[in-house]
Amino acid sequence: MQETFGAVGVSERVVVALRKRGLTAPFKIQTLVLKEAIAGRDVLARSPTGSGKTLAFAIPIVERLDPAGRTPGALVLVPTRELARQVTDELAPLGHARGLRVAEVYGGVGIDLQARRAANAHCIVATPGRLEDLMARKLIRLDNVKILVLDEADRMLDLGFQPAVDRILGVLPRERQTMFFSATLDGVVAKHAERSTHDPLRVEAELPVDQIGDVTHQFIGVERDDKIEALVTLLANTERDLALVFVRTKRGAARLARRLEQRGLRAGALHGDMSQPQRQRSLKNFENGRVDTLVATDVAARGLDVDDITHVINFDPPADAVAYTHRVGRTGRAGRSGTGITFVLPDEREDMTKLADAAELGTELDLAGLRQHRTAPSRNGGRRGGAPRRRRPAAA
């Protein structure tokens, strides 16, 4: 018999709020974490994006905070603006069910209104840089924080935020609950986790990359001069919904999106040089299908949770197996199906063989039999075969 949210300690008011979003039973990571986290225990969890980990810390925050308590009472640190928005979108409806206010704090937007909202919020979802900015301007105090969450902690440290995170943790009350969620718990991440938590509940809910939902992995051999043509053909002639295309550089993302538009495809870009309003507009266009192809750097490899991404295409190869997992993890999330495609140049074959081994893809990578895409593109701009799929509830 499948466990219910009520059975793991979630209050009826929050259960009702979850049910309104179509969520009636917890995912594995939630089942493992919720009861003890709601009781106030520290959590150290290795869990991939798409596993439902956001609710594993969002629900305890909502259950444990007092609407009449001093603000802010909880702080969620995340590495990117996109993830900050998505965590806020998950937290805010649950918080509203218990009279709690949630505010987001990140760069690229006006600071004054953001600061006022944050100062009066019960829970803040923040990137380290903008939060430190508010603290330096004395626009916010963290003396009353009793719950701290570090989400995508490995990504946060990879991006160079460790000094900022250490400074923020240094001003928080020592008596607090800390929940630490990371895709990996090795090296410096493990040391930071040990320093940040006390007698934590340890949970591992990692999935092998070939078991992320129902994902098909394809490696396609291309020549450098034919690479864009291969992508155009693939996008135009594949029955699909939304496609996320990863490239190595910010300039490359903008350039490739323009090239695809010139070929009649509905494409947009997402990269770190865009302002926050530009990024939000690009994401909104992608989510509502106004563009069905988004060309992005690894800024989108974590935290991007958009319904109906059926294809993730590595136009430029990922740096390693971990990066591959996070990129391809944008599809096939929480049991949904999808396809991950990687373009492989002749001089990249050896590296891709090693990556496939490290990612535990087994014999799915047949370098001798890499397929070429050389047929002419269709004129329909991407989707084929009738109406688009009905959107499904995203994993929290």
Residue at 316 is within a domain: yes
Give the CATH number for residue 301. Answer: 3.40.50.300
Helix-strand-coil split of the chain, %, nearest 5 = 45, 15, 40
Domain hosting residue 301, numbered range? 209-369
High-pLDDT (> 70) share of the chain, %? 85
Res 105: pLDDT: 95
State the Cα–Cα distance between residues 190 and 271, nearest whole angstrom.
Answer: 29
The last residue of one of the domains, among 151, 185, 204, is 204
Res 22: pLDDT: 87
Residue 384 has pLDDT above 60, yes or no: no
Residues 106 and 237 in one domain: no
| Gyration radius of the chain's alpha carbons | 21
Residue at 379 is within a domain: no
Give the residue, 354 or 127, on which the prediction is more confident.
Answer: 127
State the Cα–Cα distance between residues 2 and 24, nearest whole angstrom.
Answer: 10
- 142-168: burial string, b at 16+ Cβ within 10 Å, e else: beebbbbbbbbbbbbbbbebbebbeeb
pTM, to two decimals:
0.66
Give the residue, 48 or 43, on which the prediction is more confident.
Answer: 43
* pLDDT band with cut points at 50, 70 and 90 for residue 30: very high
Residue at 380 is within a domain: no
Residues 233 and 198 in one domain: no
Contact call for residues 250 and 273 (beta carbons, < 8 A)? yes
Residue 233 has pLDDT above 90, yes or no: yes
Residues 79 and 225 in one domain: no
- pLDDT tens string 67-115: 999 999 999 999 888 889 889 999 999 999 999 999 999 987 888 989 9
State the Cα–Cα distance between residues 247 and 256, nearest whole angstrom.
Answer: 9
Res 98: pLDDT: 94
State the Cα–Cα distance between residues 353 and 359, nearest whole angstrom.
Answer: 10
Residue 366 has pLDDT above 60, yes or no: no
Residue at 395 is within a domain: no
Contact call for residues 65 and 122 (beta carbons, < 8 A)? yes
Residues 257 and 346 in one domain: yes
Residues 86 and 226 in one domain: no
Res 213: pLDDT: 57
Give the residue, 326 or 166, on which the prediction is more confident.
Answer: 166
Residue at 381 is within a domain: no
- pLDDT tens string 296-310: 988 766 667 777 899
Residue at 393 is within a domain: no
27 conformational bin, left if phi > 0, alpha if psi -120 to 50, beta if neither: beta
Residues 28 and 56 in one domain: yes
Contact call for residues 235 and 265 (beta carbons, < 8 A)? yes
Residues 184 and 270 in one domain: no
* pLDDT band with cut points at 50, 70 and 90 for residue 379: very low
Res 362: pLDDT: 55
Least confident of 14-18, 231-235, 380-384: 380-384
122 conformational bin, left if phi > 0, alpha if psi -120 to 50, beta if neither: alpha
Residues 237 and 181 in one domain: no
Query: Which residues have C-beta within 8 Å of that of residue 201, sequence separation ≥ 6?
Result: 33, 36, 37, 41, 42, 43, 44
Residue at 385 is within a domain: no
Res 161: pLDDT: 85
Residue 382 has pLDDT above 50, yes or no: no
Residues 45 and 166 in one domain: yes
Residues 296 and 337 in one domain: yes
Strand partners, 268: 294
CA 194 to chain centre: 24
* pLDDT band with cut points at 50, 70 and 90 for residue 283: confident
Number of domains in the chain: 2
The last residue of one of the domains, among 150, 173, 204, is 204
Residues 249 and 159 in one domain: no
Residue at 24 is within a domain: yes
Res 49: pLDDT: 65
Residues 166 and 264 in one domain: no
